[in-house]
Amino acid sequence: MRLQDKVAIIMGAGQAPGASGAIGNGRATACVFAREAAKVCCVDRNLDSAKETAALIAKEGGDAIAWAADVTEEAAVVAAIAGCFDRWGRIDILHNNVGISVEGGDAPLAEITPETFQRIMNVNLCGAMLACKHVLPIMRAQAGGVILNVASAAAYWTAYPNVVYPASKAGMVTLTRQLAMQNAGYGIRANAILPGRMDTPMAVDRRVEATGRSRAEIVAERDATVPLRGKMGTGWDVAYAALFLASDEARFITGVELPVDGGALARVG
């Protein structure tokens, strides 16, 4: 019951389709928060996917609602936050999990168009900014709250092949630090989670679609880059990191970047 009496809004609580049975970071986090007694507003551009997440929570006896919102549209973000607040009268946790990469057209620098660059930045970075902008007045009035931004270990990988995704996630890290410092006096904490190689529908199944390669081949390639046991993490690993940072156990932690990467960022050379 680590989140008893807390209300969480999760942006990106659905997940990309995939035949593997893997779970996405947002859906896993929504389920873990609910199991720890939080009330959860599951927000996703795909309402059916958000409803699937809410249904999983309800099946386990949790309390959740689903809401459709495209994070690049400010009015939609405002409506989702208002819907959550109207339902439960407070918002204690904002979890920004929305992000795109190759499915948004990310590529090496020579192949990037300004339109692609802007599209990915709008989804990955501007979307999180909009959610923070409209949740912060609620949290300030409550004199407390937690913001969790899912960045990526790719923000620090100099060998990452594409350019926009890591740039957007580096921006997420800096945004998080600014949020932490500007809102510490209000009792609001802000931290970033940096997933590494994850076996999720977005990270793996979307690459299968984009490249035409087999899932087994892509999984093996990604597993080989992970120091810890040579295996990727899962959405559950991100979810439990988020649970710790959202809970009162982390009440003195703000402005940090927590790698969830099997040791990838600890490797030098």
**How does pLDDT run across 197-227, given as a tens digit for each residue?**
999 988 888 777 777 888 899 999 999 999 9
**How does pLDDT run across 149-201, given as a tens digit for each residue?**
999 999 998 888 899 999 999 999 999 999 999 999 999 999 999 999 999 98
Q: Phi, psi at residue 223, to the nearest 5°?
A: -55, -40
Determine the Cα–Cα distance for residues 14 and 171; give it in Å rounded to an integer: 23
| CATH fold for the domain made of 7-203+234-249 | Rossmann fold (3.40.50)
Q: How confident is the model at residue 268 (pLDDT cuts 50, 70, 90)?
A: low
Residues near 68 by beta carbon (within 8 Å), at least 6 away in sequence: 43, 44, 45, 46, 47, 50, 76, 80
Q: Tokens standing for 205?
A: 């199944």
Mean of pLDDT values over 106-115: 90
Determine the Cα–Cα distance for residues 221 and 209; give it in Å rounded to an integer: 16
What are the residue ranges spanned by the domains of the chain?
7-203+234-249
Beta bridge partners of 41: 9, 65
CA torsion 164-199-10-39 (nearest 10°) is -170
Determine the Cα–Cα distance for residues 40 and 30; give it in Å rounded to an integer: 7
Question: What is the set of active-site residues?
Answer: 165
- Give Cα 52 to chain centroid, integer Å: 17
